[in-house]
Amino acid sequence: MRTITLTIVGWLALYLPAAGQILEFRGVCDGSGAIVLPDGSIATVDDEKEPQLRVFNAAGGPPTAVIPIPGISDAGFEPDLEGGARVGGMSLWIGSHGRNSKGEPRPERQVLFGIPVDAIVARSIRQSDVRSAGPLRDALITWGSQHGIAMARAFGPQDQRVDSLAAEREGVNIEAVAHDPRTGQLLIGFRNPVPGGQALIAPLRNLDAVLRGEVAEFGSPIRLDLGGGGLRDMVWSDRHGAFLLIAGPSGNDGPFTLHRWNGGALTAIPWTTPLPDGFHPETVLALPGTDNVLVLSDDGDVTASRDPADCKRDDFDTASQTCSCKNIRNPRAAALRAFRGLRMTVRPN
């Protein structure tokens, strides 16, 4: 097991102190997982019921395409998709594997599947394009027991509600996934649990076999000292020769931090502009061929309307006279739903 400690170096010499640029992506409240497509646009999924894949210009605006995912968008449940990664010509998408906010089991969130990037570019995903893995739960519990990590406790019983095991409290919550081009492993990062106050990564060694339905095999755990926070997202950047990581608490409020990690030392990256009110960093993308990084926010709780007619039944907050983005009802969703992105420059070494 590797333990890596955060060290803050002279960042003024490493990172460009340029002002950040706030962008708006319309039509949905969050980009929970995202990848960069070959033309520089971004493909995102959200963490709501029956999610679809949306393609956006990296500069923001409305989606240029909304693409149903067979077996996911039409399944009638919420897979709680939280992370996305590219592995060559394949895109990977992972669910939280966690419970809901009441601590009720949600086995439908135990998903990992691949979609060819070419199918996304063509704006047409067929059922045969979707390569689904089996649940990772049992393999993660076994892996945890081999390395002294209480994954069985974090998952809890599959047939019982356990309030304390809500994803935002003490239960399993996978939010980060990234391909390591140096080892070929798929790194799966946890927002929760955070054993010993250190963020946890499970390196999946046999991705191709898992997508054929075989049992997952994990390498030695990686622990990162991120100031007590777990992982919200991570991505490999060729430009920087390192992973870029977002860290934050298991709950919804900050603080949120950005880091660079090359497999050895960690370096804190300062936000080049203060995060706007209610900005919850959820996804980080390295924009190819540039020093630019795009951080996407989960804006589900941001006020979207003050008209009760716009809100789902019983979800209008009478005290504040507001309706949050996630509670806007469908007829006006495209007009009122949006999430923000922060575009900033990070100099490579």
Instruction: Name the H helices within the chain.
Output: 117-121, 137-146, 151-155, 207-210, 333-336
pLDDT tens-digit map of 159-198: 999 999 998 899 999 999 999 999 999 999 999 999 999 9
Residue 200 lies in a domain: yes
Give Cβ neighbours of residue 330 (< 8 Å, ≥ 6 apart). Answer: none
In a domain, 327, yes or no: no
Quote the pLDDT of residue 300: 82
DSSP classification of residue 215: P
For residue 157, the tally of other CB atoms under 10 A from its CB is 10
14: pLDDT strictly greater than 60: no
Residue 250 lies in a domain: yes
Model pLDDT for residues 127-143, shown as the tens digit of each residue? 999 999 988 999 999 99
- pLDDT at 17 (0 to 100): 32
Q: From residue 31, give the alpha-carbon distance in Å to each of 28, 242, 285.
A: 8, 23, 11
* Number of domains present in the structure of the chain: 1
Contact at 8 Å (CB) between 85 and 235?
Answer: yes
Whether the per-residue pLDDT at 261 is higher than 90: the answer is yes
Distance from C-alpha of 8 to C-alpha of 51, rounded to nearest angstrom: 38
Q: How far apart are the first and last CA of the chain?
A: 27
Q: What is the pLDDT of residues 220-245, one digit of tens each?
A: 999 999 999 999 999 999 999 999 99
What whole-number distance in Å separates Cα of residue 124 and Cα of residue 346? 34
Is 309 a domain residue? no
Q: Is residue 297 part of a domain?
A: no
Asked if the structure places residue 324 within a domain, the reply is: no
Q: What angle do CA 298, 53, 302 make, to 5 degrees?
A: 20
Does residue 202 lie in a domain region?
yes
pLDDT at 326: 80
- Tell me how far apart the 2 most distant CA atoms of the chain are, in Å: 54
**H or E stretch covering 115:** strand 112-116
Name the residue with tokens 């309307």: 305
Q: What angle do CA 81, 98, 153 make, to 5 degrees?
A: 155
Token duo for residue 202: 């499970």
Q: What is the mean pLDDT of residues 206-229?
A: 95
> Is residue 98 in some structural domain?
yes
Query: Scanning the structure block, which residue is given the tokens 């979800």?
Result: 315
Kindly report, residue by residue over 282-322, the tens digit of the pLDDT: 999 999 989 999 999 988 888 888 888 888 777 787 777 88
- The pLDDT assigned to 110 comes to 94
Res 145: pLDDT: 97
How would you class 343 by CB atoms within 10 Å of its CB: exposed for 0-12, middle for 13-18, buried for 19 or more? buried
CB 109 within 8 A of CB 95: yes
Q: What is the pLDDT of residue 237?
A: 96
Percent of the chain past pLDDT 70, that is, above it, reads 93
Top pLDDT among 117 and 1 is at 117
What pLDDT score does 333 carry?
Answer: 60
Give the domain range for residue 97: 2-20+33-281
Mean pLDDT of the chain: 88
- Which CATH number belongs to the domain containing residue 61 in this structure? 2.120.10
pLDDT at 331: 62
